[in-house]
């Protein structure tokens, strides 16, 4: 089936070691401008829009928070959130640890303090968070009747292990966490994934297409379902072993411009 839509993960897949788009990657994506190129990431929208601008694809939708939020310009196409009660339980657990807790809703990012972890994410995503105590944020969001699109917990690997066990025991059916690194746990609603987000986007914006028309690039565990569901799932060489095992094809690593190489050589 002919590729008519491309979806790409960002960190570890599309960006180089400086967490930027290389000149070659920008050129390759612009060359195939006849095929919509959709950014799909665990990032917040604000951390994706500057990349869209560099690629001249700001007119296209983007999928943020692992599928928890789909936006098209200023329009929200789909949103799935974690409840305030659930966030409060996670905050209570983390309060007895040294773990950093970040809360995200659309383009809001709240941190309790600008610690090492907050500064690291600020540097990686080029977005500055708002500093506010977790309980204050929860009270504010409860009044505004909204929840979190993502919770990010960062810190000691053993404490992350304990948090994972807590979540598996208390919230098996409502939220899901995946480790982008041993010290990073990204928590999302269990009902969403990158695959479900692509399916929803096809229905709303590209009804003439189906999953078999989609080519997707990825590197991490949260990309597996997407890569196995689309017409052509491509793993970059630096991907997790489990991702490499299920991919239809493999391209060079992210630091070797693997996405650009695939687009230039195999998608002619």
Distance between CA 198 and CA 38 in Å, rounded? 9
Domain ranges, ordered by start, for the chain:
5-79+192-265, 84-189
Question: 18 Cβ partners below 8 Å, 6+ apart?
Answer: none
267 falls in which pLDDT band (50, 70, 90)? low
pLDDT of residue 181: 87
pLDDT at 149 exceeding the cut of 70: yes
pLDDT of residue 33: 86
β-bridge mates for residue 69, sequence order: 64, 79
**Proportion of the chain above pLDDT 70, given as a percent:** 99
pLDDT at 245 exceeding the cut of 90: yes
Buried b (16+ CB within 10 A) or exposed e, 1-34: eebbbbbbbbbbbbbbeeeebbebbbebbeeeee
Chain centroid offset of residue 100 CA: 19
Among residues 183, 6, 34, the alpha carbon closest in space to that of 98 is found at 183
Q: What is the mean pLDDT of the segment spanning 5-24?
A: 96
For 5-79+192-265, which CATH class? alpha beta
Query: How is residue 186 written in tokens?
Result: 């990204």
Write the DSSP symbol of residue 148: B
β-bridge mates for residue 218, sequence order: 235
Q: Bigger pLDDT: 72 or 181?
A: 72
pLDDT at 263 exceeding the cut of 70: yes
pLDDT of residue 172: 86
Q: Report phi then psi at 22, rounded to 5.
A: -75, 160
Are 131 and 119 contacting, i.e. CB atoms less than 8 angstroms apart?
Answer: no
Query: Residue with structure tokens 């189906």?
Result: 210
Give this prediction's pTM. Answer: 0.94
pLDDT at 219 exceeding the cut of 70: yes
Query: How is residue 245 written in tokens?
Result: 């095992």
Are 212 and 224 contacting, i.e. CB atoms less than 8 angstroms apart?
Answer: no
Q: What is the mean pLDDT of the segment spanning 119-144?
A: 96
**Where do the DSSP E strands lie in 82-183?**
100-105, 108-111, 130-131, 150-154, 175-181
Are 42 and 226 contacting, i.e. CB atoms less than 8 angstroms apart?
Answer: no
Secondary structure of residue 9 in the 3-state scheme: coil
Q: What is the mean pLDDT of the segment spanning 12-40?
A: 95
Helix orientation angle between 46-55 and 23-31, rounded to the nearest 10 degrees: 70
β-bridge mates for residue 249, sequence order: 234
Radius of gyration of the chain (CA): 18
pLDDT at 35 exceeding the cut of 80: yes
pLDDT of residue 268: 64
Q: What is the mean pLDDT of the segment spanning 173-183?
A: 90
Distance between CA 38 and CA 116 in Å, rounded? 31
pLDDT at 266 exceeding the cut of 80: no
pLDDT at 180 exceeding the cut of 90: no
Query: How is residue 187 written in tokens?
Result: 């928590």
Distance between CA 205 and CA 72 in Å, rounded? 9
Q: What is the mean pLDDT of the segment spanning 133-160?
A: 97
- Mean residue pLDDT across the chain: 96
Fold designation for 84-189: 3.30.1240
């Amino acid at each position: 089936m002919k590729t008519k839509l491309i979806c790409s993960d960002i960190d570890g897949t599309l960006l180089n070691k400086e967490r930027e788009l290389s000149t070659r990657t920008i050129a390759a994506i612009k060359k195939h401008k006849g095929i919509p190129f959709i950014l799909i990431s665990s990032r917040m929208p604000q951390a994706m829009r500057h990349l869209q601008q560099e690629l001249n694809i700001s007119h296209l939708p983007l999928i943020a928070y692992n599928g928890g939020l789909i936006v098209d310009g200023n329009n929200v196409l789909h949103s799935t959130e974690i409840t305030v009660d659930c966030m409060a339980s996670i905050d209570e657990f983390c309060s007895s640890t040294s773990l950093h807790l970040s809360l995200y809703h659309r383009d809001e990012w709240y941190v309790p303090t600008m610690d090492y972890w907050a500064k690291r994410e600020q540097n990686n995503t080029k977005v500055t968070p708002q500093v506010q105590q977790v309980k204050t944020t929860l009270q504010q969001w409860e009044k505004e009747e909204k929840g979190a699109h993502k919770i990010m917990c960062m810190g000691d690997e053993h404490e992350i292990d304990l948090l994972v066990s807590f979540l598996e025991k208390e919230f098996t059916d409502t939220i899901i966490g995946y480790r982008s690194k041993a010290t990073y746990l990204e928590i999302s609603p269990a009902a969403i994934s990158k695959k479900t987000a692509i399916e929803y986007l096809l229905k709303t914006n590209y009804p003439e297409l189906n999953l078999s028309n989609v080519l997707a690039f990825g590197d991490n565990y949260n990309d597996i379902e997407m890569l196995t569901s689309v017409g052509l799932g491509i793993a970059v060489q630096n991907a997790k072993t489990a991702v490499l095992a299920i991919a239809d094809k493999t391209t060079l690593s992210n630091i070797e411009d693997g996405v650009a190489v695939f687009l230039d050589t195999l998608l002619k």
